[in-house]
Each structure stands twice: as structure tokens, then as C-alpha cells.
Chain A
Amino acid sequence: MIQSYLTVSVILFCLGIVGVISRRNVFTVFMSIELMLNAANLSFVALARLHESMDGHVLALMVMAVAAAEAALALAVVILLHKHKGKLDTNVFSLLKG
């Protein structure tokens, strides 16, 4: 029973990795990262159900808070980069390459 939930989590996580490494639209990349966070959350909650302990739920709450903080900051950076470059392509955002 728990194994099937964890398998769903693995599938979602792999889809998130595929989205990050194969897409160039910055919003799609960002939402793929959110998808990976959600997959990790699902595995936390499933394992909390397996062990009947509540720690996994608290950890899932923490992950959601971190995701909210990340969303606020990342979207601010996206707005700034869009103002500077007028593009949404992650290949254009290579300012740190030197």
C-alpha cells in the first residue's frame, strides 16, 4: 500500500527532473522544481503513515514554507531578469558564467 504511494512519488520526482533538464522556459523549470518538492512531500506523508508518527507531516509543512519563500524570491528574480533582458530563456540568463 505505502509502496504504491512512494512509487507515485518517484514518478513525479523523475518527471520534475526531466522538466528541469530538458526545458528552457524559466517558468516551466521553476514549476518543475515545485513538482519535485511536492513529490518529496508525498513520500514524507506516506512514510509518516507507515510509521504512524506525525514527524513527516511537520516536515511536509516545513517543505511547503520553504517552497513559498522560494516562490516569492524566484519570481522576484524572474521579474528582474525579464526587465533586464526581455527574455524568458534560461540560456540567456548566464550572467554568472564570467
Chain B
Amino acid sequence: MFADGLFILFTVFAVVGAAGLVLFKHPMNGAMSFVVTLIALAGLYALLNAKLIFAIQLIVYAGAIMSLIIFIIMFLNIQEEDLPAEEGRFKYLIGGVIVVAPVGMLLTKAVNSLPGSEATIAGAGFGGVKEVGVKLFTEWLLPFEIVSILLLVSLVGAVVLAGKRGTNK
């Protein structure tokens, strides 16, 4: 089926991008491969009928947050010699995989024991802007306001931390 093919394609892109993020030495290469993961995840959201989340994933995550990270990486002008040496990187990676593999297997087993879910047809307005918006502004109003305060606090905090114009550093 077409949707299954798309699912496999997006999954392969997401996992390969994530593996690239973990394996690349230079953070710029890692950021580029992480963008691939984010775009593949947006495709997975689209396959799950989450239209609004699909758009926001592309605009906010792959657009705004990743361009902020890449901007900072370029701003610091990282050369090869600035990077941490990480001699035993692959040793640590193998160790990390050995530590995490049982957790992953346990989680996979738990996930696969969930009650059966055949491919149902989602309702007409499922995941659209209107439906999510109504939910957001009725049942989730208080968390929404708290998130707005959080964004304001992080804005002020980032300016205070990175600005530091008054002190003579």
C-alpha cells in the first residue's frame, strides 16, 4: 500500500538522520542530519492525520529552532581544533548502546502489547486547525497561558544571559 511505503520511507529517513546526529563529529553535520530527521517526522505526523502538527513541525522545529541552532553554531565559528577530542567516542557509543538496548527492548515489548489497533478512518476534521484550536482554548487554556509566560521568561533570560552589556567582560 502507498501509505505503508511512505511510512517505511519516512522511518528510514528519521532513523538514519538520528544516527547521523549521534555519529557525526562536527555539530554542523549533525545539525544538518537532524533537520532530515525533523522533516521525516513531519511526514509521519501527516500520515497520522495531524495536519496542524505537521505544519508546525515544519515551520517551528525544522524552520525556527534548527535555524537558531545552526545560526549559533556558525556564530561561534567552530573549527576542527575547537571540538572536543572524543578519542574513545566509538567505545562510549558501543557502551551507550549496550546500556540503552535493554530499555529499548522493554519499551518495544510494552508498546507491542498495546490493545489492537486496526487502521481506522479518522473523522473528517481530525487534527485540523479548528478542532485543535477549540480544544486548546477551552480545556487547555491554563497550560496555554503558562506556556506563554514560560516563553516570556525564556526570552528575558536569554537576553540577560547572552547580552551582558553592562558588565565589563
Contact = CB atoms under 8 A, between A and B. Distances in A.
B48 A49 contact: yes
Given A14-B104, A45-B50, A87-B82, A34 B126 contact: no
A52 B122 contact: yes
- Which secondary structure characterizes the binding site on chain B? helix
A95 interface: no
A10 B111 contact: yes
- Which secondary structure characterizes the binding site on chain A? helix
A70 to B, nearest CB: 8
A21 B99 contact: yes
Nearest to A38: B41
Contacts of B65: 34, 67-68, 71
Contact size class for B? 35 or more
Contact of A22 (B45, B89, B127): B89
Contacts of B144: 62
A8 B50 CA distance: 17
Given A8-B44, A38-B61, A61-B132, A17 B96 contact: yes
B69 interface: yes
A68 B64 contact: yes
Interface in A1-57: 1-8, 10-19, 21-25, 27-28, 30-32, 34-35, 38, 41-42, 45-46, 48-50, 52, 54-55, 57
A34 B158 contact: no
Contacts of B37: 12, 35, 38
B161 A73 contact: yes
Contacts of B136: 58, 61
B18 A12 contact: yes
Q: Which 5 pairs across A and B sit closest by C-beta, in order of nearness?
A: A27-B27, A89-B84, A69-B154, A22-B96, A22-B92
Interface of B: 7, 11, 14-15, 18-19, 21-22, 24-25, 27, 30-31, 34, 37-38, 41, 44-45, 48-50, 52-53, 56-57, 60-61, 64-65, 68-69, 72-73, 75-76, 78, 82-84, 86, 89, 92-93, 95-97, 99-101, 103-104, 107-108, 111-112, 114, 117-120, 122-123, 126-127, 131-132, 135-136, 139-140, 143-144, 147, 150-151, 153-155, 157-158, 161-162, 164, 169
11 contacts: A4-B7, A8-B14, A14-B101, A25-B25, A25-B30, A34-B34, A64-B57, A65-B150, A66-B147, A68-B151, A71-B68
